Amino acid sequence: MSHLLDDTDLAILNHLQDNGRAQRNTIAELVNLSVPSVSERMKKLEERGLIEGYNAILNSKKFHFDITAFIFVQVDGSENYRDFVDKAIVEPEVLECHSITGDGSHFLKVRTKNTGSFESLLSRIQAWEGVSKTRSNLVLSSFKETRKLPVEHAVELIKS
């Protein structure tokens, strides 16, 4: 199986990033292929793990999750690392958990309903085994938030 992407694959991936609900016949028209050909390409992209899933993006404000914050966490000792990650994964208000270099050992992106629920979440995190320090930044406003990748720059995957 080829590990390379061609221009058609890139067009499919870019279109799906913009509109995950796109119908296959619309994509087929866009890339000048038949619907079965597009379906087969999408299946291969999914099997290779290049497409992880299709999700709806919800408006956090409409669900009254008014606080977005970033929390830098210092976890002491590698013996606490896995436990910290496991707790972050199951905490519903933690949207992202990253192991980082620099200031702290982990970086969390969280969304909560208000400052009271943020304070409660922060207290829970600070009580987790091994957490020795946290530093929080509340978001005042957001101008760009995306998971869209510039796939056309993945030259090592593109057929010449």
User: pLDDT per residue over 26-52, tens digit each?
Assistant: 999 999 999 999 999 999 999 999 999
pTM: 0.86
* Residues 85, 128 share a domain: yes
Q: Which domain holds residue 78?
A: 67-138
What residues does 108 pair with on adjacent strands? 71, 97
Contact 76, 133 (CB under 8 A): no
Number of domains present in the structure of the chain: 2
Q: How confident is the model at residue 136 (pLDDT cuts 50, 70, 90)?
A: very high
* Residues 125, 78 share a domain: yes
Contact 45, 13 (CB under 8 A): yes
Q: How many CB atoms lie within 10 A of CB 75?
A: 21
